Chains A and B, each alone.
Chain A
Amino acid sequence: MYRLALNMLFGDRAKLAMLLCGLAFSALLMAQQSSVFFGIMSWTYTPMVNIRAQVWVSDPMVEQVNDAKPLRDTDLGRVRSVDGVAWAAPLHTSFVQARMQDGNFKLITLVGIDADTFAGAPAVLTQGRIEDLRLPDTVIVDEWGAALMGRMGVGPDGKPRSTPLKVGDTFEINDIQARIVGICKVRRAFTGGPFVYTTYDRAKGYTLGARRTLSFMLVEPQKGVTPAELCGRIERDTGLKAWTSDTVIWNWGERSLARNTFWWFWTNTGIPFSFGTAVLLGLFVGIAISGQTFYSFVLENLKYFAAIKAMGAGMGVIARMLLVQAFTAGLIGFGLGAGMAQAIGRVMIEKGMPPFVMFPQILWATFALVLGISLVSAIIGIIKVSRVDAASVFRG
């Protein structure tokens, strides 16, 4: 009977198309909005991804990575003296205005790393060498920032340029020249500004007037000491806050700064509500369109279901037929919707905006929700058919 059930479904192409449109649109909306949501949320802890270190140490009042509360430089020595610390390096992060060649200003994320160890340096450089940061007035700019700031530059002919900044180009931070010695590849951040790397000491110079410039300390545990274990020791011995740096969203531990950052944005901004509303909208639209279309499909076939009932098919068989029809439509609808979401995601990833992270869990959740929509649709149909009297087939 299930084969016939499918033939009944596929035989009514107009209804099937409508049903698939509803389910696909719903799957698209839920998967795409969730992916953009997680993309944006993953941008909130971008510094954790771009600046690699096993343990981060901050002021005890720090709640998330974008909200650094400066430490004293002497805190570095205290951390270095904690048992289990292999090394500890200073890190400066701040938002400062960079002045471009055309006179405009651009807010950048200035990252000052230890010039001796280069701890926290970008992992991938597409141009230049990290060692060149030891030269005077030098910075490394991220690829996207180079393109963005390049459009704010002036060409040799005095006209606005359209090419990205490259090694050798200059701009100013607080009236101090910054000469580019490298272009790096890093993930973009929620705050939107380009990442500009320099040495910790030079960062102090670029942030004139700041009394304290030590934002975080990057710490490496000794062999045999786990990051979580070391965090506990640092907190106990120094009174500072220590964090692990795991950024895998489904796998982060209790002490993860990325997790804290994620939940800080979750509870302190309207982002989850906004995207959650869109996802719920997708769900409701799916239920409304698919439920309505499937109900109409059942209504149109009601007299045939009554005839099948009269011929001796139990409600169990008919219910399974309706479930097969609804779940098949759900499966195809999900495939279409998720495929479209992937395609849109690819375009987004290529363009870099908006951020798009489609975890397998998003697909599974979307799949489950689409099947839920199908189930609701099928149940509506089953209720309708169960109320049909088999004797009604004799009433013309």
Chain B
Amino acid sequence: MSHLAHTVAVRATGVDMFFGTPENQVVALKQADFEARRGELIMLVGPSGCGKTTLLSVIAGTLTPQAGTVEVFGQRLDGLGQEALTTFRRKNLGFVFQSFNLIPTLTVAENVMVPLLIQGRPYDEARARAVAILDKVGLKGREEGRPNALSGGQQQRVAIARALVHEPPLLICDEPTSALDKDTGAQIMQMVRDLSRSPERCVVVVTHDHRIFRFADRIAEMEDGRISRVVDDPKLLDTTHL
């Protein structure tokens, strides 16, 4: 039991999440249970509107559920205030967004430095670490360029560098390959897998893209606001509705 407790990175239990007014309520999550382990890359899949992004937001601490408990690396999030949640995200989370969200008026290196600067690290230290991780994602020499001068794949690599530069234990990826072609998407997922693979780190990926399922250790399928099943082998999933 003790060993199991240590292996769990994220645990959401009985999570309810509704939007809208009581008369016109939209149920996003209904008694959703989810678990992710340390050292694994788990994918959240399911049809549009099934609640993937909402669950991801709850796990990331950007949405507070109306009911249920959420625990990330032993820290209960459901009872935390906004300030504590912000601090939690700053220390523990890295994000890769669907639309990259790279600030176009900053250089590539400056974009990567953002999480470190938010943590209050000195500019020079942040810059050195940004340059080092950009080298790892194959963007050496592009540090001073603007994100808009890069291809989509390169921009997502910058986003991965930004998500990992402060070495967060939980990496949240929201549709990381949806704006990329098949080969670039595969490269990006390989990179996410290679760079984030650590016994202490957990990667949660929300995706529609069945072509990248092979990169997952486990896949959690969602339906109508809850996890319907979790599989270890992507072949076991019926992807026709995704």
Contact = CB atoms under 8 A, between A and B. Distances in A.
Contacts of B91: 312
Contacts of A9: 105
A7 B105 contact: yes
A304 B62 contact: no
B239 interface: no
A10 B105 CA distance: 8
Contact of A390 (B56, B62, B110): B62
Interface in A358-396: 389-391, 393-396
B78 to A, nearest CB: 15
Interface residues of B, number: 35
A308 B114 contact: yes
B114 A311 contact: yes
Interface in B116-156: 117-119, 123
Given A312-B115, A313-B118, A391-B57, A307 B101 contact: yes
Interface string A295-312: 000000101100111111
B95 A311 contact: yes
B53 A395 contact: yes
Nearest to A3: B123
Interface stretch (B81-89, B184-192, B213-221): B81-89
A4 B101 contact: no
Interface in A238-270: none
B79 to A, nearest CB: 18
B180 interface: no
A256 B56 CA distance: 74
Contact of A311 (B63, B99, B106, B115): B115
Given A7-B110, A303-B101, A310 B117 contact: no
A317 B87 CA distance: 12
Interface residues of A, number: 28
A7 B93 CA distance: 25
Contact of A396 (B57, B88, B98, B103): B98
B57 A304 contact: no
22 contacts: A8-B105, A8-B106, A11-B105, A12-B105, A304-B103, A309-B86, A310-B62, A311-B89, A311-B118, A312-B87, A312-B91, A312-B93, A312-B115, A314-B83, A314-B87, A391-B57, A393-B95, A393-B101, A393-B174, A394-B56, A396-B98, A396-B175
Interface of A: 1, 3-4, 7-12, 301, 303-304, 307-314, 317, 389-391, 393-396
